[in-house]
């Protein structure tokens, strides 16, 4: 039942009438339809599924904010062709004002804030309800606070400065209402405060729902919590936020809330097990993801099709160096390298298979959604958070992930200093999170030099790391600008 409702939301969206825009119209002309939408619990469920469906579209986490635009900025892919559908050349050279790139950047902002407005509309209606009248209501309330945080946080990470470098910088508009009036632009510090306040509300509500007061017979909405903003997703998101702020203690504490939960465990090393955790839903390692069984067509075009006109993505050519294959041993080989990538049978290029499928597999059955947060990331956050106080514990967390991917423990001499450890950790994150839109954000957070596809260094700078605000930002922004 739950999957069918999610599919319905996706069908409505892909037929050209976005589920949320149809039901959650924030303009006065949509008031009647809006009131009818929230007449009963089924209407609320449809509204929530519509939000998740909107987040899963390819302009957001279905492509652009996962393996698409963000991983192109991280220099993970290139196109061998001068003309290609996604203008990778302009993206990988950071020509943000190029007309071919502007729409992509603007849509991240616009569609992200549109989803926030849908969430705020649901929150406004929930505030009028007796939350005890339906067991789903508290879940939805907690999810909405978490979702509002999640979207704001990614917009903040992309469009604002690194808080570790520029504490007093401008942040972003933080939207608490569902109207389209101008929103106040908060400072960077206050933007993080707003995010943590929302997350704390989500944490309190969802802990009560999912950990302290589980219903005996869950409703269809309460099943399969990994497809919705759940309590462990909130913990994981808090770990991300605190890490971005440089608060190692809180970052590791929240990461460990997930690591120690009985619901999750790292896989035992094998190629088949790795395939299972890299495709949605990631067995035992998925904290939160989005259902979308329409992604297969885009992934096929991007990674499997041999049509040179519509297939722009090829994996960067120094892949063996990234995975350090020269150090592979019979008892220490990285299954990620062996499983994610495969030379094409018809060309010299290496293709990413991580999010797609083998050519002879039925991609329509394999690709069912997108993973947003997985367990290994929590190990990395905990490792980084512990190194200054307990380096041996930090190294153990790092080795736990390596072991589950087929690699032996790393030689202690390679991680006996903080600088060495952080370099290894950053490399491990690249190997694990390839195709998930996190690597470019890592470069920005760590403020480190990285290399383009020709192995030329890219110096860290706001011009590279900060996406430009849309020219039409006044639709959401205030009179105070950066």
* pLDDT digit string, tens, across residues 267-326: 999 988 888 888 888 888 999 999 988 887 777 777 766 665 655 577 888 888 999 999
pLDDT for the residue 5: 59
**Is there a domain that residue 232 lies in?**
yes
Total domains in the chain come to: 1
**Is there a domain that residue 108 lies in?**
yes
pLDDT for the residue 17: 37
Give residue 32's pLDDT band: very low, low, confident or very high (50, 70, 90): very low
pTM of the model: 0.90
Is pLDDT above 60 for 220?
yes
Percentage of the chain surpassing pLDDT 70?
81
pLDDT for the residue 37: 83
Is pLDDT above 90 for 6?
no
pLDDT for the residue 180: 61
Model confidence pLDDT, tens digit, residues 106-165 = 999 999 999 999 999 999 999 999 999 999 999 999 999 999 999 999 999 999 999 999
**Is there a domain that residue 448 lies in?**
yes
SS (H, E, C) the chain: CHHHHHHHHHHHHHCCCCHHHHHCCCCHHHHHHHHHHCCCHHHHHHHHHHHHHHHCCCCCCCCCCCCCHHHHHCCCEECCCCCCCCCHHHHHCCCCCCHHHHHHHHHHHHHHHHHHHHHHHHHHHHCCCCCCCCCHHHHHHHHHHHHHHHHHHHHHHHHCCCCCCCCCCEEEECCCCCCCCCCCEEEHHHHHHHHHHHHHHHHHHHHHHHHHCCCCCCCCCCCCHHHCCCHHHHHHHHHHHHHHHCCHHHHHHHHHHHHCCCCCCCCCCCHHHHHHHHCCCCCCCEEEEEECCCHHHHHHHHHHCCCCCCCCCEECCCHHHHCCHHHCECCECCHHHHHHEEECCCCCCEEECCCCCCCCCCHHHHCCEEEEEEHHHHHHHHHHHHCCCCHHHHHHHHHHHHHHCCCCCCCHHHCCCHHHHHHHHHHHHHHHHCCCCCHHHHHHHHCCCEECCCCCEECCCHHHHCCCCCCCHHHCCCCCCC
* Domain carrying residue 268: 2-302+366-475
Is pLDDT above 90 for 235?
yes
pLDDT for the residue 1: 56
Give residue 479's pLDDT band: very low, low, confident or very high (50, 70, 90): very low
**Is there a domain that residue 419 lies in?**
yes
Give residue 93's pLDDT band: very low, low, confident or very high (50, 70, 90): very high
**Is there a domain that residue 356 lies in?**
no
**Is there a domain that residue 340 lies in?**
no
**Is there a domain that residue 355 lies in?**
no
Give residue 396's pLDDT band: very low, low, confident or very high (50, 70, 90): very high
CATH code of 440's domain:
1.25.40.390
């Amino acid at each position: 039942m739950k999957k069918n409702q999610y599919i319905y939301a996706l069908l409505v969206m892909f037929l050209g009438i976005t589920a949320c825009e149809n039901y959650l119209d924030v303009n006065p002309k949509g008031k009647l339809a809006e009131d009818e939408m929230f007449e009963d619990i089924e209407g609320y469920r449809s509204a929530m599924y519509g939000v998740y469906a909107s987040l899963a579209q390819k302009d957001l986490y279905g492509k652009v904010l996962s393996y698409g635009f963000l991983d192109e900025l991280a220099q993970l892919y290139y196109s061998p062709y001068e003309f290609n559908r996604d203008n990778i050349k302009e993206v990988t050279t950071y020509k943000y004002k190029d007309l071919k790139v502007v729409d992509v950047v603007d849509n991240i902002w616009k569609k992200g804030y549109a989803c926030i407005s849908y969430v705020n509309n649901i929150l406004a209606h929930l505030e009028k309800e007796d939350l005890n009248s339906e067991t789903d209501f508290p879940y939805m309330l907690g999810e909405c606070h978490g979702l509002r945080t999640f979207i704001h946080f990614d917009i903040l990470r992309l469009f604002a400065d690194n808080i570790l470098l520029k504490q007093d910088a401008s942040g972003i508009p933080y939207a608490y209402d569902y109207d389209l009036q101008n929103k106040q632009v908060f400072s960077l510090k206050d933007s993080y405060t707003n995010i943590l306040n929302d997350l704390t509300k989500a944490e309190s509500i969802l802990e009560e729902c999912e950990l302290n007061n589980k219903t005996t017979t869950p409703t269809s909405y309460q099943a399969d919590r990994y497809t919705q903003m759940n309590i462990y997703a909130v913990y994981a998101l808090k770990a991300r936020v605190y890490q971005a702020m440089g608060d190692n203690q809180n970052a590791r504490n929240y990461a460990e809330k997930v690591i120690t939960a009985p619901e999750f465990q790292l896989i035992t090393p094998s190629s088949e097990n790795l395939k299972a955790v890299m495709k949605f839903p990631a067995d035992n390692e998925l904290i939160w993801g989005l259902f979308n069984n329409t992604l297969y067509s885009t992934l096929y075009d991007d990674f499997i099709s041999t049509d040179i006109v519509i297939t722009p993505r090829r994996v960067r050519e120094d892949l063996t160096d990234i995975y350090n294959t020269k150090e592979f041993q019979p008892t220490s080989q990285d299954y990620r390298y062996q499983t994610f990538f495969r030379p094409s049978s018809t060309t010299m290029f290496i293709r990413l298979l991580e999010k797609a499928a083998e050519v002879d597999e039925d991609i329509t059955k394999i690709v069912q959604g997108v993973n947003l947060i997985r367990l290994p990331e929590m190990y990395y956050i905990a490792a980084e958070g512990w190194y200054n106080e307990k380096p041996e514990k930090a190294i153990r967390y790092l080795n736990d992930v390596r072991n589950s991917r087929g690699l032996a423990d790393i030689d202690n001499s390679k991680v006996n200093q903080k600088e060495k450890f952080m370099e290894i950790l950053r490399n491990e994150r690249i190997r694990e999170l390839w195709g998930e839109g996190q690597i470019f954000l890592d470069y920005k957070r760590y403020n480190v030099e990285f290399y383009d596809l020709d192995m030329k260094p890219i110096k860290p700078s706001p011009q590279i790391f900060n996406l430009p605000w849309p020219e039409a930002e006044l639709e959401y922004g205030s009179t105070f600008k950066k």
